[in-house]
């Protein structure tokens, strides 16, 4: 979650809550090299474009990833994961991603 007015508004302008929540693992995405710097504090809709052809975790946010990535579809079905794209990203989506990351971690390290 970029530090911008749109995202801060999602947390009713509470800067402390925003900073705490945006640093949760469910909101973490990794991009290679300078890609992270180039997307910097963009709004979420614009950032989605940067997530194309990156890590699967990032790609799960994009609607078009579910059309062509059969491995992702198989992963979702095999482990009954609630993988789904998000047109917007706020507190509810952050909580859902946090839960999803926990479920994936539980599968990996059981």
Phi-psi region of 80 (alpha: psi -120 to 50; beta: other; left: phi over 0): left
Encode pLDDT of 16-71 as tens digits. Answer: 999 999 999 998 888 877 776 677 778 888 888 888 888 888 989 999 888 877 88
Report the pLDDT value the prediction gives residue 70, as an integer from 0 to 100: 85
Phi-psi region of 86 (alpha: psi -120 to 50; beta: other; left: phi over 0): beta
């Amino acid at each position: 979650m970029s530090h911008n007015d749109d995202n801060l508004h999602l947390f009713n302008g509470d800067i402390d809550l925003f900073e705490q929540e945006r640093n949760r693992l469910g909101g973490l995405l990794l991009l290679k090299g300078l890609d992270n710097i180039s997307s910097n504090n963009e709004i979420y809709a614009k950032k989605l474009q940067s997530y194309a052809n990156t890590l699967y975790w990032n790609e799960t946010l994009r609607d078009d990833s579910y059309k062509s990535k059969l491995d992702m579809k198989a992963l979702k079905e095999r482990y009954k994961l609630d993988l789904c794209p998000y047109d917007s990203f706020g507190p509810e989506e952050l909580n859902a991603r946090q839960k999803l990351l926990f479920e994936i971690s539980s599968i990996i390290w059981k």
